[in-house]
Structure 1
C-alpha cells in the first residue's frame, strides 16, 4: 500500500506538478499516515510465549549459537594480538609458537564461519514462520503457529513473524517495517591513533576498499554522465574520495565512497552541480540534530520505492542492445555484470568487481590476438587484407604484413607467429615488410622478440623491413640500440615508399 502510494505521489507530481518536490512530499505523507494508523506493531516476549516446539527449538539454538559466535570472536581477537606480538618480537625460537597460534586461529575461524552459516539458516527459517497472537484471560501474550490456534481462543487477526532473537527474548512484528529509531547527534572529533603494527595488517584490506570505492563512484558518475552528457574527471573523483576519507577518519566514519542510490535520487530530483551535496549535507546535519524522532515511522517500503524509481532511470537498455550488435563479447560482459550485481545485492561491489575482471580478461584476449593480415591490392589501388578479399599478395618475392596492435610481452609471441605463418604460405619470399602504423607502443619483451625474428629470418635468407612506425616506437628502438642490428635503411616513413622499394628491389 505504502509502496503504491509513494509511486503514485512521485509519478503524479512529476507529471502534473513538476515544480513540487515529489520525493519529499511522499516521505512526509507516508510517514504521517504510518504514524496515524500505527503501521508498526512490534511486541517483545519471552521464548516460552511461543506455543510451537519447532519455533522454540530454533530460537533457543539461534541464541546459544550467537553466544558461541561472540565467544569465538573474542578468542580469535586475542589470538590475533598474540600472533602480532610474537611476530613483532622477531624471535626465531618462538617460530613454533607462532605456527601453533596460526593453526588454532584457522580452526577457530572455520568453526565460526560454520556457526554463522548455521545461524543464517535458522534466521531464515524463523522469519518464514507465521504466528497468530492471543491474549489470555489473565493478560498473558501467547503466539500460536498460523492455523494451529485453539478454536476457543480469539486472535487479533494479524500475521506475526519473528523479527529478532536476543537471548531468551524475541521481538515479533505484526505490522509493517519502518525506519525505526535513528541515533541523534553528530560524532565527536578525535585524532585517530596510528598503530604501525595494525597499519601493515590492514593495508591490503584498505587498498581493496579504496579500489572498490573508486569503482563504485566511477560507475555511478559515468552512468549519470551518459544521461547528462557531461564529462567525468576520474582524477577529481579519486582526490575527492581521498580527502573525504582523511577527514572522516577524525570522526570514526565508515569508508567514504559514492552512493548508487543517493546519486540516483539526486539525479532524479534534478541536481546539476556539487552544490547539491553541500545542501544535502547541511540538511542531514539538521535532521540528525533535531528531526530524527519524526522519521521513526517512515515505512521502509517508501525508501525502497524511492531508490528503485531513481535507479531504474539509470538502466540503459538501448546501449546494451547496440553493444550486442556492435561487439557481442562486450554485451555479454555487461549482461553478466548486471545479473551478478542483482544476485550479489546488497554487496554491489562484488558484481562490479566481477564485471571489471571480465573486462580485463576480454582486454587481454584482444591484446594477445591483434588483427593481422597479409596485404593485397584491389584493382583501384586500395590496400586490403587478402584473407577477407581473396586477393593475391602484392609480390611474388616479398610479403607485406599488417600488424594492428602494441608489441609487448602479452602479444610478442603472436607477432612472431604471424610472420612465420606468412613465410610458410609464401616460401619463395625473400623479404617481409611489416606495416606498423597500428603499433602504438613497444616494451623490452617486444624489442627482444623483434631481434629474434630478424635473426631467424636472416638465417633463412629473408630480410625484414618496417614502414609507418610511430615516432615513439622509432625512438624506443633507437634508445635500445636496435639500429646496430638492423640498418635504418630498412625503415620507411610511409608504406607507399616502402612498397615502391620492395617492388623495385624484390619484384
Structure 2
C-alpha cells in the first residue's frame, strides 16, 4: 500500500534525523505531530491508510471487583500464568536496559512494584500490569534515566485522555510502528549472543530459539517464553546428569587434578576420586556407575576415597546411592572413605544415619587427615606415591591453559 509505505518511510526518516542532528529535542513527539498533520492534510485515511481513529476520552472509574467463588477455580491457572509471564517479560526488559545503564536491578523490588500496580489496576478496571518492551525501549531511547519518567508519562497520558483525544484521530498507525521499530532497534545486541556462544552453546541456542519463537508466535509472546523455559530446564537436567568425575593425582603445583586429563600416574591399590556437582536423583546413578567402573579397572584396589567438596545439595536418592555404594565397597573388600563434605551435606548424612553405617572414622573434613589415617592403617600395603609426588606419564607435557578449567 503506497500511502502506508510513504508514511512509514517519512516517520522513520524523521525519527532518525531528529535523533542524529537534534537529540535534545523530543524527536518522537515532533514526528507524531508532523505525520499527523500530513495525514490530515493529504487525506491519508481516505486513501486507505490506517489511523488511530476515535480514542475514548476520560479516565477509568473506581469499581470494586465482583467476587464470585465459582470463578476462583477457573481463574487460578490463567491468573498464575499471567503473573508468571508478566514478571518474566518485565524482568527481561529491566535486565536489557540495566545492562546498558549499569544500574542495580532487584527482582524483589520489581515484584513489589508489579504487585502494587496490579492491586490498583484491579480496582480501576484495568488490565494486568507488566513491563512493556516497546514502551520501555521508547522511554529509554527518549533519554529516560529514572523511574520519575514513568510518573511524567502517566501524567501526560492522563491529560491526553481527558483533553487531547480528538487530536489523535488522524495519527497514522504506521508512525506508531516506526516509533517502536526505531526504539527497539537500539536494544538489539548481537555481541551478547556471540559471547554466550563462546561461553556455553546451550545458552546461545536457547536465546536463538526464544528470539525466533516469540517473533513467530507474536503477539502471543508467552508461547516463546514457555518454549525457552522448557528448553532451559532440559539443558539444565542434561548438564547435571553427567557432572565431572575424575581420579586425581598430585600435580606439579601441589594441587590434585584429573590424572587422565593431565597425564599422570595413578595407583592400583589406592584411588582418590573427585565428583564435581550436586548429588540428586538425576545424576546419582551416573556417579554410582562411574565408581563401579573405575573400581572394576583396579582389581587390586584396597582403598577408595570420594571427595565430595563440590556437592552443595543432596536428596534422598543421592543419600541412598552413597549408602548402597558404601555397602558394595564393603562387600568387595575395599575400604571406602568420604572427604570434605560441606556442612549442610554432612548434617543430612548425620540425620539419615549414614555416618553410623559407614563409620565416622571413614568421613573426614580434610583430605590430608584421611590420607594420614590410611597410611597409619595400611602402611606399605597401599601405594600413595601419586598423591605425594608429581608423577607424569612418559612423553606427557600437560598444558595448563584450558585444562586447568576442567581439572
- What are the residue-to-residue correspondences of 1:448-467 with 2, within 5 Å? 448-467=320-339
After superposition, the C-alpha distances for 1:199-246 in whole angstroms (9 at most, x for unaligned) are 112111111111111111111111111111122211121222222222
Q: Secondary structure at the match of 1:464?
A: strand
Q: Which residue of 2 aligns with 1:39?
A: 44
Cα deviation, residue 37, structure 1:
0.9
Cα deviation, residue 320, structure 1:
0.7
- 184, 202, 221: which is aligned to 1:311? 184
Cα deviation, residue 251, structure 1:
2.0
Q: Which residue of 1 aligns with 2:347?
A: 475
In 1, distance between residues paired with 2:252 and 2:85? 55
- What are the residue-to-residue correspondences of 1:21-40 with 2, within 5 Å? 21-40=26-45
In 1, distance between residues paired with 2:104 and 2:370? 42
In 1, distance between residues paired with 2:18 and 2:196? 35
In 1, distance between residues paired with 2:301 and 2:103? 54
- 18, 25, 34: which is aligned to 1:20? 25
Q: Which residue of 2 aligns with 1:384?
A: 257
In 1, distance between residues paired with 2:220 and 2:60? 26
Q: Secondary structure at the match of 1:279?
A: helix
Q: Secondary structure at the match of 1:372?
A: strand
Q: Secondary structure at the match of 1:350?
A: helix
After superposition, the C-alpha distances for 1:84-106 in whole angstroms (9 at most, x for unaligned) are xxxxxxxxxxxxxxxxxxxxxxx
Q: Which residue of 2 aligns with 1:185?
A: 58
Does residue 268 of the first structure (1) align with residue 273 of the second (2)?
no
Does residue 435 of the first structure (1) align with residue 338 of the second (2)?
no
In 2, distance between residues paired with 1:306 and 1:296? 17
In 2, distance between residues paired with 1:444 and 1:2? 65
Higher mean alpha-carbon deviation, 331-340 vs 483-492, is at: 483-492
Give TM-score, length-normalised by structure 1. 0.71
Does residue 412 of the first structure (1) align with residue 278 of the second (2)?
no
Number of corresponding residues: 374
Q: Which residue of 2 aligns with 1:257?
A: 130
In 2, distance between residues paired with 1:495 and 1:13? 67
Q: Which residue of 2 aligns with 1:334?
A: 207
After superposition, the C-alpha distances for 1:1-47 in whole angstroms (9 at most, x for unaligned) are 22222222222222222211111111111111111111111xxxxxx
Q: Which residue of 2 aligns with 1:498?
A: 370
Give TM-score, length-normalised by structure 2. 0.88
Asked if the contact 1:398–1:502 (Cα under 8 Å) also holds between the matched residues in 2, the reply is no
In 1, distance between residues paired with 2:253 and 2:268? 20
After superposition, the C-alpha distances for 1:101-155 in whole angstroms (9 at most, x for unaligned) are xxxxxxxxxxxxxxxxxxxxxxxxxxxxxxxxxxxxxxxxxxxxxxxxxxxxxxx
Q: Which residue of 2 aligns with 1:421?
A: 293
In 2, distance between residues paired with 1:24 and 1:380? 65
In 2, distance between residues paired with 1:499 and 1:182? 80
In 1, distance between residues paired with 2:52 and 2:239? 49
Cα deviation, residue 389, structure 1:
2.2
Change (3 A) 1:412 1:347: same
Does residue 231 of the first structure (1) align with residue 236 of the second (2)?
no
In 2, distance between residues paired with 1:235 and 1:178? 40
Q: Secondary structure at the match of 1:242?
A: helix
Asked if the contact 1:244–1:256 (Cα under 8 Å) also holds between the matched residues in 2, the reply is yes
In 2, distance between residues paired with 1:451 and 1:400? 18
Q: Secondary structure at the match of 1:440?
A: coil
In 1, distance between residues paired with 2:299 and 2:54? 82
Q: Secondary structure at the match of 1:473?
A: helix
**Structure 1 runs not aligned, ≥5 long:** 42-173
Asked if the contact 1:436–1:468 (Cα under 8 Å) also holds between the matched residues in 2, the reply is yes
In 2, distance between residues paired with 1:236 and 1:304? 31
Q: Which residue of 2 aligns with 1:362?
A: 235
In 2, distance between residues paired with 1:368 and 1:414? 7
In 2, distance between residues paired with 1:383 and 1:289? 73
Cα deviation, residue 502, structure 1:
4.2
Q: Which residue of 2 aligns with 1:111?
A: none
Does residue 279 of the first structure (1) align with residue 284 of the second (2)?
no
Structure exhibiting the larger radius of gyration computed from Cα positions: 1
Q: Which has the higher contact order (CA 8 A, sep 6+)?
A: 2
In 2, distance between residues paired with 1:202 and 1:381? 61
Q: Which residue of 2 aligns with 1:204?
A: 77
